[in-house]
């Protein structure tokens, strides 16, 4: 082994976390933190498929999370984006070659195939594939259909029958102002389906989330279901160019969010930032400030691959290798977060349960 490679291995192999230990903080309501299966068990099955959600439920997730976009006939389907070339085999269907186009989504030009140009029947002829094959492989590509939101709710109705603690649903409205601009708003079909399957009132096992603000305010005017304001480490809501997520994360911004939402879903680096080498830094004030405003905090996204883990948790040099996800989760639980999004409920669920005992 060359000297430089030995030095690199020493740098990347697990070491002590750079963040100093802190006294564990409580969640907002004193309840154990929840694990939200991010697009299902998307670290093991193609995301947003019924197979991914079913596996997440088997692995003990408290909530499953579908991102929702719409078809040309107004049906809510689960996809990470309305552009579907990365997550389906649409490019292999010559009958749809003519539908490839360029759209402006949230101010950015995007080229590909878009759900709003397909009927549900047409989308059902496609098959899902792994979005990041370089890290997770393609063994399950081509096996599963695109799932509708109603199919997901039917799955939950079936598995929750007789359960004392039902598995909840955590839908995200993707690009809601864009879809509203083309005559396909999320609100009516989303609320109608949730009501149809019994999701009513403040205690319903559901959170509706969005990176935009207007969509959440519109939902609050029509529903008392729990709402979550998503926040990224940079930029701001697509429907409010003058607002930044940084401003929304201040005490004043959080107080404003509390007038229409029940919690925030921040990029996890807003809770514990990372240093230049990927080390975990000291926690910010965000969790405490959010709790002071009466808001829950559900950061995203926790993944087991070395590529995504902080320096101390890496399990070697292979980006696709698996490291110590539990240690990262433990650091975040100590800040008092009320839950977390993970692609890997197999690891996240026991880590959250163990952390809640401390």
List pLDDT tens digits, range 123-154.
999 999 999 999 999 999 999 999 999 999 99
pLDDT digits (tens, 9 = 90+) for 55-75: 999 999 999 999 999 999 999
Structure tokens at 358: 């401390």
Q: For residue 346, what pLDDT is reported?
A: 98
**Distance between CA 152 and CA 25 in Å, rounded?**
34
Instruction: Give pLDDT, residue 14.
Output: 40
CB distance 310 to 298 below 8 Å: no
Structure tokens at 189: 């079909």
Name the percent of the chain in helix, strand, coil, to the closest 5.
35, 15, 50
Q: pLDDT per residue over 98-127, tens digit each? A: 999 999 999 999 999 999 999 999 999 999
What CA–CA distance (Å, rounded) separates 79 from 153? 15
With bands split at pLDDT 50, 70 and 90, how would you rate the model's confidence at 23?
confident
Q: Are 213 and 103 in contact (CB under 8 A)?
A: no
Alpha carbon distance 308, 271 (integer Å): 16
Please check the confidence at residue 227 and state whether its pLDDT lies above 70: yes
> Per DSSP, which regions of the chain are E strands?
34-38, 63-65, 67-70, 76-78, 101-105, 108-112, 168-169, 172-173, 208-210, 227-231, 263-266, 296-297, 339-342
* Token pair recorded at residue 79: 């996809």
What is the reported pLDDT for 354?
85
Q: Say if residue 1's pLDDT is above 50.
A: no
Token digits of residue 338: 């009320």
**Which one, of 338, 335, 268, lies nearest residue 300 by Cα?**
268
Per-residue tokens: 180: 């509203």
- Contact at 8 Å (CB) between 172 and 67? yes
Beta-strand pair 67-70/76-78: antiparallel
DSSP designation for 274 = B
Q: Specify burial of residue 105 (Cβ count, 10 A radius: 0-12, 13-18, 19+).
A: middle
> 4 falls in which pLDDT band (50, 70, 90)?
very low
Percent of the chain at pLDDT above 70?
93
State the pLDDT at residue 22: 60
Rounded distance between C-alpha atoms, residue 104 and residue 336, angstroms: 39
Mean pLDDT of the chain: 93
37-47 pLDDT, tens per residue?
999 999 999 99
Beta bridge partners of 206: 169
Radius of gyration of the chain (CA): 20
- Residue 40's nearest CA partner among 124, 130, 163 is 130
Q: Which uninterrupted H or E stretch holds 152?
A: helix 149-159
Cα 254 from Cα 289, distance rounded (Å): 8
Give dist(CA 191, CA 331) in Å, integer: 36
């Amino acid at each position: 082994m060359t000297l430089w490679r030995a030095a690199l291995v020493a740098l990347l192999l697990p070491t002590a976390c750079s963040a100093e230990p802190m006294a564990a903080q409580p969640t907002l309501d004193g309840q154990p933190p929840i694990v939200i299966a991010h697009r299902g068990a998307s670290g093991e099955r193609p995301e947003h498929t019924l197979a991914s959600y079913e596996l997440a439920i088997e692995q003990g997730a408290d909530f499953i999370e579908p991102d929702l976009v719409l078809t040309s006939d107004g049906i809510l389907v689960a996809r990470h984006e309305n552009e579907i070339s990365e997550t389906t085999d649409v490019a292999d269907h010559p009958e749809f070659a003519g539908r490839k186009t360029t759209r402006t989504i949230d101010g950015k030009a995007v080229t590909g195939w878009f759900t709003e140009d397909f009927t549900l029947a047409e989308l059902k002829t496609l098959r899902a594939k792994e979005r990041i094959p370089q890290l997770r492989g393609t063994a399950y590509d081509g096996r599963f259909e695109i799932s509708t939101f109603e199919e997901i709710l039917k799955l939950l109705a079936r598995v929750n029958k007789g359960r004392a603690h039902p598995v909840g649903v955590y839908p995200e409205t993707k690009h809601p102002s864009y879809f509203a601009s083309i005559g396909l708003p999320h609100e009516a079909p989303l609320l109608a389906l949730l009501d149809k399957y019994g999701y009513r009132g403040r205690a319903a096992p559901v959170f509706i989330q969005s990176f935009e603000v207007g969509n959440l305010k519109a939902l609050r005017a029509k529903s008392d279901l729990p709402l979550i304001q998503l926040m990224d480490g940079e930029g701001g809501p697509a429907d409010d160019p003058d607002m930044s997520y940084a401003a929304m994360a201040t005490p004043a911004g959080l107080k404003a969010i509390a007038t229409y939402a029940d919690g925030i879903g921040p990029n996890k680096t807003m809770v514990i930032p990372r240093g230049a080498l990927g080390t975990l830094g000291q926690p910010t004030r965000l969790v405490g400030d959010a709790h002071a405003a009466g808001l829950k905090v559900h950061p995203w996204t926790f993944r087991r691959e070395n590529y995504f883990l902080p320096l101390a948790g890496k399990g070697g040099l292979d980006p696709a290798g698996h490291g110590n996800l539990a240690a990262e989760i433990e650091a975040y639980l100590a800040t008092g977060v009320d839950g977390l999004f993970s692609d890997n409920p197999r690891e996240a669920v026991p880590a959250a349960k163990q952390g809640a005992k401390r």
